[in-house]
């Protein structure tokens, strides 16, 4: 075995397929397949993500020492068999639809890997982690902690849906788990689907909708659907769910309990949908807090690491921090299945090869973790960007660094919306300042304008603030780092503005909630991203110049995409998205573009048809 083997981690075949490449525990590259195929949440074999990772490291497939898949297909197939047989004949209408893919590419995954990656050496190891083991590895190994409690929560892996473990040094010891069909992730997804949003991507919308409602159904959920014990273990009443028997999440009993049939996608949002969103959010937070408290108690540790799809619930994460359950909290930025690819590679290095672990990563300078600010995707040179722009006959200016920063500050101060395409693409669901759209948070029109004219998404969805770490506590009740936009914190009381009495529901959208209305949600909260010079020098300097010019240290930061599309990856993706929206300017590398100066033809966006 080489002293520092090249290990490729993969996730695929459920949602958010991804690839990650490591060497000796150092993360070299990681990316989701969707960014290249332009098919949101693409679950297919991550061929293009693999190709990128190899290019980034200057490798070929023959130089890989191991390929690691993020779960164990035989265990997962056994769970599917047992689950459908347990409810037979009710599930037999669905089961024949899933069998063909299992009998071809999924079950004999070694054969699939050799077929998809034919240049692998014969002695290249093909390894498999368990699903929650990959999540736990992605949470602990890149964290800044020598020892920590680990909590992973998602829909389902092989059997586990929730797991608690202890990480210390280069070892992870599993302690407890909750098994399918009892799942907080599936419960939240059931409400996501019932409220008319798409599973595995609409959960963010449900979380964003929650503050507009009241928890009127919380007691019904606790009484009828979910029993949570003091140690956080829980039990679902399956009489209200249909996911074992068919392709829908809920059944008529569920619909009767909550007042009617599921909302049709794009249908009107009724007050009960707002109340349902608030109710399931409240109940989920209660369960997550109990699990987090028990994870720390069971391990005797005061540092906590989170991963799994439910760890993207940044409202619950913020509550963990404010409740004082742990001294420090670290959340894997690619917490869902995409991060499983990274976790699989890291688990192989530490657990299979017995590799050493350098706490804080190779540099130790990015806040103490090894994620390199999650900027692990492809970057493009000015020459590559210029080639794309010339191909589109685009009109642009080339500026030096200082000119670009100062001009961007001027545009933002004039309430212009600026696309910001710089450096390496982010890994995970959040744009963290390299594939972002920026705006002035002080503008009362910014949230509506960005949602409806740029993002083409629901007007109720909030935007996140980005702020220099040293200034965060002046605007938000936040004392911890939040580099990955995974913590919600209250806006400071002195910045809040009272809401008129009697205004409720979506009517609250029209009311300014604070002196930063574009990033303040209706409950006076914000999903905060903190930045340091070490993590992202260019973004940090932009914020510094913005504050010097305006006295405000905060900007709006939302992902560079429109509704239903992945975040842009290439200069071509960025230009097409830019000219097809009402975004005002695009700062891409050293180039600045005014949308009104571009050729007037509308360009087809490079987006693949989405699966049903």
The dihedral built from the CA positions of residue 95, 97, 98 and 104, taken in this order, carries a sign that is positive
**Buried residues in 8-46 as b, exposed as e (16+ CB within 10 A):** bbbbbbbbbbbbbbbbbbebbbbbbbbbbbbbbbbbebb
Q: How confident is the model at residue 364 (pLDDT cuts 50, 70, 90)?
A: very low
Query: Read out DSSP for 54-88?
Result: HHHHT--GGG-SEEEESS-HHHHHHHHHHHHHHTT
Inter-residue contact 348 to 316 (CB < 8 Å): no
Q: Is the peptide bond before 340 cis (omega within 30 degrees of 0)?
A: no
Q: How confident is the model at residue 345 (pLDDT cuts 50, 70, 90)?
A: very high
Residue 365, pLDDT score: 35
Tell me the mean pLDDT in the region 45-57: 98
Residue 201, pLDDT score: 85
CA of residue 163 relative to chain centroid, distance: 19
The single residue listed with the structure tokens 């798409």 is: 198
Tell me the mean pLDDT in the region 178-200: 95
Residue 398, pLDDT score: 98
Residue 502, pLDDT score: 82
pLDDT at 96 > cutoff 70: no
Give the lowest-confidence range in 190-194, 307-311, 501-505: 501-505
d(CA 455, CA 462): 12
pLDDT at 93 > cutoff 70: no
Residue 245, pLDDT score: 77
Residue 442: CB atoms within 10 Å: 21
Q: How confident is the model at residue 454 (pLDDT cuts 50, 70, 90)?
A: confident
Inter-residue contact 156 to 142 (CB < 8 Å): no
pLDDT in tens, 458-497: 777 779 999 999 999 999 999 899 999 999 999 999 999 9
Residue 459, pLDDT score: 75
d(CA 595, CA 206): 33
Helices of type H across 244-367: 252-257, 271-299, 314-322, 337-347
Query: Read out DSSP for 442-474?
Result: T-TTHHHHIIIIII---TT---EEEEEGGGGGG
Residue 501, pLDDT score: 87
Higher pLDDT, 82 or 299: 299
Residue 612, pLDDT score: 40
Query: Read out DSSP for 194-241?
Result: HTT--TTTTHHHHHHHGGGS--TTHHHIIIIIEEE-TTS-EEE-GGGB
pLDDT at 457 > cutoff 60: yes
Of 333, 266, 286, 283, nearest in space to 20 by CA: 333
pLDDT in tens, 275-303: 999 999 999 999 999 999 999 999 999 99
Inter-residue contact 38 to 607 (CB < 8 Å): yes
pLDDT at 363 > cutoff 50: no
SS3 category, 28: strand
pLDDT at 366 > cutoff 80: no
Inter-residue contact 14 to 77 (CB < 8 Å): no
Token digits of residue 603? 């360009």
Residues in Cβ contact with 405 at an 8 Å cutoff, skipping those fewer than 6 apart: 538, 541, 542, 545
d(CA 200, CA 519): 24
Residue 452, pLDDT score: 81
Tell me the mean pLDDT in the region 431-447: 94
Catalytic positions: 15
User: Angle at Cα 335 formed by Cα 476 and Cα 148, nearest 5°?
Assistant: 80
Q: How confident is the model at residue 248 (pLDDT cuts 50, 70, 90)?
A: confident
Residue 86, pLDDT score: 63
Residue 507, pLDDT score: 78
CA of residue 169 relative to chain centroid, distance: 27
Q: Give me the chain's average pLDDT, please.
A: 92
pLDDT at 258 > cutoff 70: yes
Of 134, 138, 79, nearest in space to 106 by CA: 79
Residue 425, pLDDT score: 98
Domains in the chain with CATH codes? 6-138+336-374 (3.30.420.40), 184-330 (3.30.420.40), 382-597 (3.90.870.20)
What distance separates the 2 farthest-apart alpha carbons in the chain?
Answer: 71
Residue 548, pLDDT score: 98
The single residue listed with the structure tokens 């690491």 is: 305
d(CA 75, CA 98): 15
DSSP 8-state class, residue 519: G
SS3 category, 175: strand
Q: Determine which helix (DSSP H) or strand (DSSP E) holds 50, and give its type and residue range.
A: helix 47-57
Query: Read out DSSP for 144-169?
Result: S-SEEEEEEE-S-SSSEEEEEEEEET
Inter-residue contact 259 to 252 (CB < 8 Å): no
d(CA 262, CA 330): 36
Q: Which of the listed ranges 200-204, 410-414, 598-602, 607-611 does the model predict with the highest average pLDDT?
A: 410-414
Q: How confident is the model at residue 244 (pLDDT cuts 50, 70, 90)?
A: confident
Q: How confident is the model at residue 511 (pLDDT cuts 50, 70, 90)?
A: confident
Q: How confident is the model at residue 605 (pLDDT cuts 50, 70, 90)?
A: low
Tell me the mean pLDDT in the region 198-219: 94
pLDDT at 142 > cutoff 90: yes
Query: Read out DSSP for 75-121?
Result: HHHHHHHHHHHHTTTGGGGTHHHHHHHIIIIISSHHHHHHHHSTTS-
Task: Round the CA-based radius of gyration of the chain to a whole number and report it.
Answer: 23
Residue 455, pLDDT score: 79
Residue 607, pLDDT score: 60
Q: What percent of the chain shows pLDDT beyond 70?
A: 93
Tell me the mean pLDDT in the region 44-71: 98
SS3 category, 185: helix
pTM, two decimal places = 0.94
Tell me the mean pLDDT in the region 515-531: 95
Of 473, 405, 475, 397, nearest in space to 441 by CA: 475
pLDDT at 610 > cutoff 60: no
């Amino acid at each position: 075995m080489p002293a520092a083997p090249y290990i490729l981690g993969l996730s695929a075949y459920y949602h958010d397929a991804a690839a990650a490449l490591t060497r000796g525990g150092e993360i070299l590259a990681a990316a989701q397949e969707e960014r290249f195929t332009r098919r949101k949440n693409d679950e297919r074999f991550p061929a293009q993500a693999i190709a990128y990772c190899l290019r980034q490291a200057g490798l070929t497939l023959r130089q890989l020492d191991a390929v690691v898949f993020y779960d164990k297909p035989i265990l997962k197939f056994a769970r599917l068999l047992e689950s459908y047989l347990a409810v037979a004949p009710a599930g037999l209408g669905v089961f024949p639809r899933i069998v063909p893919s299992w009998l071809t590419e999924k079950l004999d995954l070694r054969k699939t890997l050799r077929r998809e990656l034919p240049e692998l050496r014969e002695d290249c190891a093909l390894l498999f982690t368990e699903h929650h083991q990959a999540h736990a590895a992605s949470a602990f190994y890149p964290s800044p902690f020598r020892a920590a409690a680990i909590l992973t929560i998602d829909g389902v892996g092989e059997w586990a849906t929730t797991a608690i473990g202890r990480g210390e040094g280069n070892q992870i010891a599993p302690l407890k788990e909750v098994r399918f069909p009892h799942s907080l992730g599936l419960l939240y997804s059931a409400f996501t689907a019932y409220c008319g949003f798409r599973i595995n991507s609409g959960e963010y919308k449900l979380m964003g909708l929650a503050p507009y409602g009241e928890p009127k159904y919380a007691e019904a959920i606790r009484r009828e659907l979910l029993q949570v014990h003091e140690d956080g273990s829980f039990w679902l009443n399956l009489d209200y769910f249909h996911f074992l028997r068919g392709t829908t999440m809920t059944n008529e009993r569920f619909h009767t309990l909550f007042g009617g049939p599921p909302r049709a996608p794009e249908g009107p949002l009724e007050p009960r949908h707002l109340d349902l969103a608030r109710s399931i959010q409240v109940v989920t937070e209660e369960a997550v807090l109990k699990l987090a408290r028990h994870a720390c108690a069971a391990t005797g540790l005061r540092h906590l690491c989170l991963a799994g799809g439910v760890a993207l619930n940044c409202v619950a994460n913020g509550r963990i921090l404010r409740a004082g359950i742990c001294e420090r909290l670290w959340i894997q930025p690619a917490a869902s299945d995409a991060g499983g690819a990274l976790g699989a590679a890291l688990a192989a290095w530490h657990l299979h090869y017995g590799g050493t672990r350098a706490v804080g990563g190779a540099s130790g300078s990015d806040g103490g973790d090894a994620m390199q600010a999650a900027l692990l995707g492809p970057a493009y040179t000015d020459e590559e960007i210029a080639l794309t722009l010339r191909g589109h006959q685009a009109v642009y200016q080339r500026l030096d660094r200082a000119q670009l920063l100062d001009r961007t500050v001027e545009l933002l101060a004039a309430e212009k919306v600026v696309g910001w395409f710089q450096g390496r693409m982010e890994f995970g669901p959040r744009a963290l300042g390299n594939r972002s759209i920026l705006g002035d948070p002080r503008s009362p029109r910014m949230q509506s304008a960005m949602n409806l004219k740029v993002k083409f998404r629901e007007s109720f969805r909030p935007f996140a603030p980005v702020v220099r770490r040293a200034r965060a506590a002046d605007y938000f009740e936040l004392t911890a780092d939040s580099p990955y936009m995974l913590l919600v914190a209250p806006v400071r009381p002195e910045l809040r503005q009272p809401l008129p009495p009697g205004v409720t529901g979506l009517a609250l959208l029209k009311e300014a909630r604070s002196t930063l209305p574009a990033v303040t949600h209706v409950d006076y909260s914000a999903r905060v991203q903190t930045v340091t010079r070490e993590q992202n020098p260019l973004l940090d300097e932009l914020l510094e110049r913005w504050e010097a010019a305006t006295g405000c240290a905060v900007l709006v930061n939302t992902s560079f995409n429109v509704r239903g599309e992945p975040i842009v990856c290439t200069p071509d993706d960025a230009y097409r998205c830019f000219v097809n929206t009402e975004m005002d300017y695009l700062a891409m590398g050293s180039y600045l573009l005014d949308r009104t100066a571009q050729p007037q033809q509308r360009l087809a966006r490079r987006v693949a048809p989405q699966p049903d």
